[in-house]
Amino acid sequence: MASVLGTTVELRNVAGPRHMALTLDHGTYCERGGACKCSTESYTKAHRDPATGALGNLAGIRPVTASVTLPRGVWVGGFHPVVLRIAGVRSAIAQGLIECREVPIAEVESPTPPMSGSRGDSPTRRARRTEPAASGD
Ligand SMILES: [Zn+2]
């Protein structure tokens, strides 16, 4: 695969409800986007055992379609481009309720040191010189 990171999509609610909910349809967003964003919930339903005919409960896990809320006037990013294929998103764009823009995913240029915590606010800045006990050799 090429090292192109692709694009991500940002959406902004410009004329919709104050908090506009979009459903990230599993068949469109998850399957084409390559990653399932759905959450799961457990369920039980009545089930008759075909062998014994006894009634029981069948438990399972099913996906719950993810949704996202777009506060009006705020760009919300991080969507896979397939979000634009979701019927609800397309119609909202067609009606002028939301705007979309594609943002290239760039290589991270400013390296953020993974070890440093919240910057500027480290209460124990002085390293404690508690040397480990010398390994008895
Ligand atoms: Zn899904």
What is the four-CA torsion angle of 75, 81, 82, 86, rounded to 10 degrees?
30
Q: Where are the domains of the chain?
A: 7-40+56-104
Prediction pTM value: 0.63
**Chain segment 4-29, per-residue pLDDT in tens:** 578 999 999 999 999 999 999 999 99
Residue 85 Cα to ligand 1 middle (Å): 15
* Residue 14, φ and ψ in degrees, nearest 5: -105, -30
For the residues 47-61, what does the mean pLDDT come to?
Answer: 89
Q: Which helix (H) or strand (E) holds 88?
A: helix 87-94
**Average pLDDT over the chain, rounded to whole?**
83
Q: Which helix (H) or strand (E) holds 31?
A: helix 31-33
Residue whose structure tokens are 């719950």: 64
**Chain segment 95-128, per-residue pLDDT in tens:** 999 999 999 887 666 665 666 555 555 555 555 5
| pLDDT for residue 22 | 93
Residue 36 Cα to ligand 1 middle (Å): 4
Residue 53 Cα to ligand 1 middle (Å): 34
Residue 96 Cα to ligand 1 middle (Å): 27
- 132: tokens are 């480990």
